[in-house]
């Protein structure tokens, strides 16, 4: 029998599917068919990864006959889904929870692309995550599917936090996680590296996928 609701999970730059394992497990326990995708995030540009990784997985899920298709992403993963959705139609009812996405670029990317060892290690996608008009998100327009964004406002990288104004998760400012067209937005007290594993992030992810909005009634951790 085809799965009723499939959730595709996409990790961030330089990470693996292991970083999304807790979320995948929670989704499966909630009754979703969760596909935790492992992909070579350091080996392609955002546009290339969007087509080769997101596109391939979407086609596979639809080919299995799933009734509804959703996305849960961390950091770069959200930009890949946004890029793909801007160019392709998705089935009605598709939702996305994007955790710590640099929709407005990242000042950390601005810095690291000029540091040869880091830029080399991160690969082509780092260049696409910079702020300003040269960043890939600058040309994408509003997000093209029902999207909830989870941002973090705790930083364990005090030097990097000086690169941006206001609150942030150490790599992405809260203000740069926002995107035009999103359905809802919530801030949790966690840093970029492990925000996807936080119980509150998991809870809010499940709530948005079910209801299309976050639960704003519970006090912050």
What does the pLDDT read at residue 129? 96
Paired strand residues for 184: 148
Tens digit of each residue's pLDDT (9 = 90 or more) over 41-52: 999 999 999 999
SS3 at position 21: helix
Distance CA 90, CA 51 (A): 14
Kindly give the parts of the chain with pLDDT less than 50. none
What does the pLDDT read at residue 31? 96
Task: Give the domains, in start order, of the chain with CATH numbers.
Answer: 5-211 (3.40.50.1820)
What does the pLDDT read at residue 3? 81
Strand order in the sheet with 146-152: 33-37, 5-10, 68-74, 95-99, 146-152, 184-188
Residue 43 CB partners (closer than 8 Å, separation 6+): 123, 124
What does the pLDDT read at residue 1? 61
pTM over 0.75: yes
Report the candidate in 162, 102, 152 with the shortest Cα–Cα distance to residue 130.
102
């Amino acid at each position: 029998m085809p799965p009723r609701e499939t959730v595709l999970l996409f990790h961030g730059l330089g990470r693996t599917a292991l970083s999304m394992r807790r979320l995948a497990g929670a989704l499966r326990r909630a009754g979703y068919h969760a596909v935790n995708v492992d992909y070579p995030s350091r080996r392609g540009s955002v546009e290339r990864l969007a087509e080769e990784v997101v596109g391939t997985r979407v086609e596979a899920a639809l080919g299995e006959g799933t009734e509804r298709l959703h996305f849960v992403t961390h950091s770069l993963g959200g930009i890949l889904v946004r890029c793909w959705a801007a160019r392709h139609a998705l089935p009605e009812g598709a939702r996305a929870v994007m955790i710590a996405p640099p929709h407005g670029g990242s000042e950390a990317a601005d810095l690291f692309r000029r540091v040869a060892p880091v830029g080399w290690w991160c690969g082509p996608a780092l260049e696409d995550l910079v702020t300003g008009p040269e960043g890939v998100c600058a040309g994408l327009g509003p997000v093209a599917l029902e999207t909830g964004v989870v941002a973090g406002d705790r930083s364990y990288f005090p030097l990097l936090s000086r690169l941006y104004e206001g609150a942030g998760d150490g790599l992405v400012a809260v203000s740069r996680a926002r995107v035009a067209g999103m359905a809802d937005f919530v801030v949790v007290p966690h840093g970029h590296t492990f925000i996807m594993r936080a119980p509150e992030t998991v809870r809010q992810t499940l709530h948005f996928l079910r209801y299309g909005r976050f639960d704003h009634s519970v006090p912050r951790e």
